[in-house]
Chains A and B, each alone.
Chain A
């Protein structure tokens, strides 16, 4: 098998190709078009590839704002104490303050037996923040009572009166008749909303209306979440003000559009956070007590759970709680993703500029 020598082949090809005279006249129009195109493109891309000093300052400020908006809430969230859950009949020892606010220090909660807070070791600024902040407690409860026959309606009226006396209201109520006695109510439930301060007083008053067959109360200290929302809103408002200041200095359309997009995004975030804060505010202002009322032969079935039923409901409750956390975390994560996308776009443009210079 004969193979042609590489050097011979190389020389032969050069000899052949060098005989071709390329005048370049035919290509002149092509290169003229490319040059025109290149000049017009350069004017557009110069702002991105060769940023002026003011543009660099603008981009630096934007990066700083993003870092602050993401970093501050995350830092606060990491330092926040764990959620406090209180189960059982012994309420946390609290002192009331104003309408609906439970003003208490961490010591009071620690002393309440079952309500031992985990991970609360306030130090430095965090300690002063905690002690200076009004505690936010979210309380719910379920109680089942039995009353004598024909007294369901009377019990409901008394319960309504109790709620109104404590400056609360009836959120919902329902009564049902039994199969054997169609004209008389045999079971009913009523959901009472009262100010947090009156919650435990209400529980004790309800127990006097009938015979208590089951009772459960649940108190969550959501102060950290409340503080987190406030901090996030404050940080976002600071960012918003900074962007508004940047907007006054933006001179190009692309810069104005970029800043406007950031402003819209932050405003949307503020509204979301404010909405969640309002929900939390209502939950901590009013405590909810669900009262199941039944005659002795028709005990409410959903009040007292044990074994598999309890495990199932705990599981559902845990699932819902986890889902709530996912939704709460989605906001900051989405914001971080958008910020990262913007940064990656900027890096991509910069890298493309660098790479072209290397060609």
Chain B
């Protein structure tokens, strides 16, 4: 099996979770990643020599997520209530851990999409600023300023700031 096919299989779970953080919806995330992987496989010969394959793969995933946010999600919102973005199961009965997760989801939802994408790629997918620049097709300077702006907006999110300053670390590690 070729290296790209192996990489696709290996990176599938993390790609789905990354897409979930961007889209806030697991079925959409899985749809987006599967569609992105199909595209990546179809256009595998167009990988630029100088770019890293990982960044290129994330670029395809991000583009597919953007497409879903632009077309699929608004259409669904028009036709039915969004039953997933807020639907982390049993949230109301959940433990504090789920409450934290919910807060972060809320905070991410509040971010504009272009800021949400760079935050997720940087702090979840662990891409460097250069790789993020490749993935979103912008300059590294733009990535840096977007990250800064995203952290500022997240810092203003009251609940998250509260978790960050008090019990969040304990909650996460515990």
A4 touches B160 (CB 8 A): yes
Q: Of the candidates B7, B105, B148, which one forms a contact with A359 in the assembled complex, judged by CB atoms under 8 Å apart?
A: B7
Q: Of the candidates A10, A22, A357, which one forms a contact with B13 in the assembled complex, judged by CB atoms under 8 Å apart?
A: A22
Q: How many A-B residue pairs have CB under 8 A?
A: 119
B1 touches A8 (CB 8 A): no
Q: Dominant SS at the A interface?
A: helix
Binding stretch for chain A, among B14-22, B66-74, B138-146: B14-22
When distances are taken between beta carbons in the complex, the residues of chain A under 8 Å from B20 are: 17, 20
B155 touches A3 (CB 8 A): yes
Which chain A residues (1-42) contact chain B, with CB distance < 8 Å?
1-6, 8-20, 22, 24, 26-27, 30-31, 34-35, 37-39, 41-42
Q: A3-B155, A9-B154, A10-B123 are in contact. Are A359 and B12 (CB under 8 A)?
A: no
A356 within 8 A of B: yes
Q: Of the candidates A22, A34, A352, which one forms a contact with B17 in the assembled complex, judged by CB atoms under 8 Å apart?
A: A22
B152 touches A5 (CB 8 A): no
Binding stretch for chain A, among B75-83, B96-104, B127-135: B96-104
When distances are taken between beta carbons in the complex, the residues of chain B under 8 Å from A42 are: 2
Chain B interface residue count: which class? 35 or more
Q: Of the candidates B3, B104, B148, which one forms a contact with A16 in the assembled complex, judged by CB atoms under 8 Å apart?
A: B104
A239 to B41, CA, bound (A): 42
B34 touches A27 (CB 8 A): yes
B4 within 8 A of A: yes
B152 touches A12 (CB 8 A): no
A350 to B114, CA, bound (A): 38
A10 to B21, CA, bound (A): 12
A53 within 8 A of B: no
* Distance to closest chain A CB from B61 (angstroms): 13
B1 touches A359 (CB 8 A): no
A356 to B108, CA, bound (A): 36
When distances are taken between beta carbons in the complex, the residues of chain B under 8 Å from A13 are: 21, 104, 119-120, 123-124
A-B contact pairs, 25 of them (CB 8 A): A2-B155, A2-B156, A3-B151, A4-B155, A6-B123, A6-B151, A11-B169, A13-B120, A14-B124, A16-B21, A16-B104, A17-B18, A17-B124, A19-B88, A20-B16, A22-B13, A22-B17, A30-B37, A30-B38, A31-B5, A34-B8, A34-B41, A38-B5, A351-B49, A359-B3
11 more contacts with CB within 8 A, not counting A12-B168, A22-B17, are A2-B155, A4-B155, A6-B123, A12-B104, A12-B172, A17-B18, A18-B17, A22-B12, A30-B37, A356-B2, A359-B7
Chain A interface (Cβ < 8 Å from any Cβ of B)? 1-6, 8-20, 22, 24, 26-27, 30-31, 34-35, 37-39, 41-42, 351-352, 355-357, 359
Chain B interface (Cβ < 8 Å from any Cβ of A)? 1-5, 7-9, 12-13, 16-18, 20-21, 26, 29-30, 33-34, 37-38, 41, 45, 49, 53, 88, 97-98, 100-101, 104-105, 108, 119-120, 123-124, 148, 151-152, 154-156, 160-161, 163-164, 168-169, 171-173
